[in-house]
Amino acid sequence: MAIKCDYSGRRPHVGKRIVRRGKAKKKGGIGQNVTGISKRRWKPNLQKIRIIDENGTVHRVKVCVRYIKAGKFTKAPPRKRPVQSG
């Protein structure tokens, strides 16, 4: 499955991590040198939740936490487990 929010479409973002050596000029040094650049990813905070849609059916979806906190969904109640007699 993809790392993607089913509603907002949020996906991982890519960027670079830059490692520098030396003291900055404005702090009294002679400047900084870049000694390494590596790629990195920022992943969205996805959770699998059970929601009720407009028709009243229950679906399991991957949603980012920002949408859950905003209250954009109605969560489905927990499933009833049958009681075992024994």
- The structural domains of the chain, with segments of one domain joined by +, span 13-75
* pLDDT at residue 80 greater than cutoff 80: yes
CB atoms closer than 10 angstroms to residue 5: 20
- What are the tens digits of pLDDT across the range 47-60? 999 999 889 899 89
Is the pTM here over 0.75, yes or no? Answer: no
CATH number for the region 13-75 comes to 2.30.170
* pLDDT at residue 1 greater than cutoff 70: no
Q: Over the range 34-55, which residues count as b (16 or more CB within 10 Å of their CB) and which as e?
A: eeeeeeeeeebebeebebeeee
Phi/psi of residue 66, nearest 5 degrees: -60, -40
Lowest mean pLDDT among 6-10, 74-78, 81-85: 81-85
